[in-house]
Structure 1
Amino acid sequence: MTDPVYVVGAFEHPTREAPEKSTPQLHAEVARGALADADLEKSAVDGYLTAGVPEYDRGLAPLVMADYLGLDPAFCDTTDYGGSSYVAHVGHAASAIRDGKCDVCLVTLAGRPRSAGQATGSGAREIRTVQDSYERVYGVTNLTMYAMAARRHAHEFGTTPEQLAEVRVAAAHHAGFNEHARFRDPVSVEDVVDSRMVADPLHLLDCCVITDGGGALLVASEDVASTLSREAVEVLGHGEAVGHHDAGRIDLTNTAADRSGERAFAEAGVGRDDIDYASIYDSFTITVLEAIEDLGFCEKGEGGEFVEGGTLQAPDGDLPFNTDGGGLCNNHPGNRGGMTKVIEAVRQLRGEANEEVQVDADVALAHGTGGSIGTRHGAATLVLGGGGA
């Protein structure tokens, strides 16, 4: 099943704080934006994918949101890998289109954690699973789990806070050119390591922003894409994997990106050297560093050295990443950053990123990490190509 499938529409909500809006309203606004971007009517949509709608997180999200949006889908998917869900959804949409289930899939994300006053990762969530019953009593939070992974990486490989800070420095540089970014001020390595310690060894500036908003994508068949005047971006490869405790054999320095990435590269038929731009999930600086290693851009344990010296900075770095400012500085809508990773990769391949950070990109990667690398997480990787339908 190798029929070409394309991302034909992409839209990121411009707001970062929306106290006057509801989550379904934000879904509707990003859906409308993606349809306008592709110059498609809503009636063309016959597939719908979403996840993580807080008000409807009991498995009914696609039903409730399809009703709210007025959609009549022949295919629905609510696979929930946390923040990486929407990277996976693009792959699932491509498969459904190739299987003849639908022709145009809409993927939406929206959330309001900033307006709700949520401090991401700093407090224990309510107990919902068997695992939670055993873990939450010890004070487990997302923040402490990522900090534990960072501490182990430092122990195993000598990774320093200064090397982690290089990730934030690159993201902040890019955010300075994005008028919608939550934080646009440049930062230095010293600024990061001098910021308040929140969970040793992670400082405040090692952590992502908290924002409202959302985003949407439209994935379509070649027949549909060929009728549109808008440049389309081809879905070349897609891979997923799950990382977890493995009955106590967990390696905190390793993520499931080693498997999701390998599967995506194999399907795309390209190698790491072919990637001109990378969107990499950046809930924390350690998330980026471990993903870079596990995706094969450098050897395990060498991520700290790899990110030094402007490697991640566009347009001239060896691996320019997150040119919108990423989750660290720009946007992490609904505490789920996978959607914006795909959107910025699409912008880069279309030549529509901010001029100062636009890369000469023919092949791009978008990678998501959802959940916690300290307990269990989902990894999803996309390889995308430019050139239109």
Structure 2
Amino acid sequence: MENKLRGKSAIVGTGHAGLGEAPGLTAYDIMAEAGLAALADAQLKLSDVDGLFCTMMEDSMPALMAAEYLGIRPRFVEGTMTGGSSFVNYITAATMALAAGLCDVALIVYGSNQRSGSGKLVTASRPPPYEQIYRPRYPISAYALAAARHMHEFGTTREQLADVAVAARAWAQHNPEAFERGDLTREDVLAARMVSDPLTVRDCCLVTDGGGAIVMVRSERARDFPKPPVYVLGCAAESTHRQISQMPDFTVTAARESGVRAFAAAGVSPSDIDVVELYDAFTINTILFLEDLGFCKKGEGGAFVEGGRIAPGGELPVNTNGGGLSCVHPGMYGIFTVIEATRQIRGDAPGLQIANVDLALAHGNGGTLSSQVTAILGSENTL
């Protein structure tokens, strides 16, 4: 099927705020600062924004609250909440709204003060009722369940999980924006405090403050802005469950379907991708998504990440900013996959910049491996 939206929209601005720790700021303060930074990157003003795409963890109507806080009255508002995948999913919604003429400047924005506000991992909702009686560490136990099943079924080892964390830290050590930049070895990960077997604290994402934002316009306007435009070539979503107990197969995520459709829409394959930005809330995520998105076969993800293959200098650059494991993770991480993918294509990544990036994949995960959204972004060379 022809993708009528391929290359019809472009990202022309990115911004962030409060990365790491932002004491004294509310989540909406951080959201607003990130949005203003993205608009400044595109040399636009708040008054130019007529499409707002936002979800937060603090309010039942976050998009309306965000519009009120920013002092704007957008013509188009979208706030569907699918967890951390929401922001990658908004790329599709923004592209459709722009193509239909429902808005001219789309702002996708998020902010959280999770670290300074609570100091620990908290979620916007309680564990699903039929799982809460077992007193899981939510959501960590859900991902531990997937990791344990993958280990049982395919022989994946804790050492291989640790290699994911070590690779993320190696990227973060080159990124001045990353929250954790200290040395980290496989042995450090294995010896760290066990949180939910088989995941140690170093298998788990950071708890930070932070906000991110991107600005999108129709492609015919994209060259009018100061930074090189990054075009949306394909984006697809798939969901399989809400409660982890209802996941059809703990070793297979909906990324298998979202990836196939995103690649088809973009007209490219995994072997064409220059950089991969994955939602690595836990080390098992990276292994599962590399398999399900087609970078390796099912069950081979553990072996695939060994030997520094996804680390700096490796065969496949994965989570080049340090990811949620070492760079930033303020409750939801999805928007940062898009920001890093965009920066790598533009050539202005703050950490290690990969040479000649034309195609990047940004993948969002929501809930407990519940919602998967894959976006393929490209430079002007890919149109």
Structure 1 counterpart of 2:273: 275
Match among 238, 242, 256 for residue 241 of structure 1? 238
| Contact 1:9-1:37 within 8 A present in 2 as well | yes
Query: Which residue of 1 is the match for residue 48 of structure 2?
Result: 44
Shift of 1:357: 4.4
* 1:354-365 to 2 correspondences below 5 Å: 354=350, 356-365=352-361
**Alignment root-mean-square deviation, CA:** 1.9
2:70 corresponding residue in structure 1: 69
- Asked whether the 8 Å contact 1:124–1:139 carries over to 2, the reply is no
Partner Cα distance (1:246, 1:329) in 2: 25
Q: CA 1:312–1:359 in structure 2 vs 1: closer, same or farther (change >3 Å)?
A: farther
- Tell me which amino acid in the other structure corresponds to 2:9: V
Shift of 1:125: 5.1
**Equivalent residues in 2 for 1:56-135, closer than 5 Å:** 56=59, 58=60, 60-120=61-121, 126=126, 132-135=128-131
Select 1:382's aligned residue among 371, 375, 378: 375
- Aligned partner of 2:196 in structure 1 is 199
Partner of 1:342: 338
Q: CA deviation at 1:65?
A: 1.2
**Matched position secondary structure for 1:262:** helix
| 2:262 alignment counterpart | 264
Pick aligned residue for 1:137 from 129, 133, 140: 133
Shift of 1:119: 2.5
Q: CA deviation at 1:359?
A: 3.9
1:328 and 2:317 correspond:
no
Q: How many percent identity over aligned positions?
A: 43
Residue by residue, what CA displacement relative to the aligned partner does 1:255-287 show, whole Å, maximum 9, x if unpaired? 110111111111101111110000000000001
Give the AA of the match of 1:119. K
- In the TM superposition, residue 325 of structure 1 has moved relative to its aligned partner by 0.8
Q: Secondary structure at the match of 1:241?
A: strand
Q: CA-to-partner distance for each residue in 1:297-345, whole Å, 9 max, x for gaps?
A: 111100001111111123x322201111110001012x10101110000
SS at 1:185 equivalent: coil
Whichever residue aligns with residue 126 of structure 2, its letter is: E
Paired residues of 1:172 and 1:184 also in contact (CA < 8 A): yes
Letter in 2 for 1:319: L
Conserved? CA contact 2:18–2:30, under 8 Å: no
1:146-179: per-residue Cα shift (whole Å, max 9, x none)? 0011000000000000111111111100111112
Secondary structure at the aligned position of 1:28 is classed as helix
| 2:36 equivalent to 1:32 | yes
Change (3 A) 1:14 1:62: closer
Assess if the C-alpha contact under 8 Å between 1:47 and 1:103 holds in 2: yes
Secondary structure of 1:76's aligned partner: strand
Partners of 1:124 and 1:136 within 8 A in 2: no
Structure 2 CA distance, aligned partners of 1:102 and 1:362? 27
Q: Which runs of 5+ in 1 are unaligned?
A: none
Cα distance in 1 between the residues matched to 2:173 and 2:244: 41
Matched with 2:162 is: 165
1:93 and 1:212 map into 2 onto residues whose CA distance is 26
Q: By how many angstroms is 1:14 displaced?
A: 4.6
Q: What amino acid maps onto 2:371 in structure 1?
A: G
In structure 2, C-alpha distance between the alignment counterparts of 1:5 and 1:384, rounded to whole Å: 10
Once the two structures are superposed, residues 198-233 of structure 1 have per-residue CA deviations (whole angstroms, 9 ceiling, x without a partner) of: 111111110100011110000111233232232110
- The whole-number CA distance in structure 1 between the counterparts of 2:307 and 2:335 is 28
Query: 1:154 corresponds to which residue?
Result: 151
Counterpart CA distance in 2 for 1:355 and 1:293 is 26
Deviates more, 1:377-386 or 1:243-252: 243-252
> Which of 12, 17, 29 is 1:13 aligned to?
17
Equivalent pair of 1:174/1:357 in contact (CA under 8 Å): no
Check whether the contact 1:11–1:216 (CA below 8 A) recurs between aligned residues.
yes
**2:349 aligned residue (343, 353, 362):** 353
SS of 1:139's partner is: coil
CA–CA separation in structure 1 for the residues paired with 2:360 and 2:155: 30
Contact 1:10 1:215 in 2 (8 A): yes
Structure 1 pair 7/370, CA: closer, same or farther in 2 (3 Å)? same
Q: Distance in 1 between matches of 2:185 and 2:92?
A: 37
**TM-score for the superposition, normalised by structure 1:** 0.92
Secondary structure, aligned partner of 1:19: coil
Q: Which amino acid aligns with 2:357?
A: A
Q: Is the 8 A contact 1:352 1:358 kept in 2?
A: no
Question: In 1, are the aligned partners of 2:347 and 2:353 still within 8 Å (CA)?
Answer: no
- 1:355, CA displacement in angstroms? 5.6
TM-score, normalization: structure 2?
Answer: 0.94
The alignment partner of 1:138 has SS state of coil
Unaligned runs of 5+ in 2: none
User: Whole-Å Cα distance in 2 between the matches of residues 285 and 85 of structure 1?
Assistant: 21
Contact 1:13 1:213 (C-alpha < 8 Å) held by counterparts: yes
Q: Which residue does the alignment assign to 2:315? A: 318
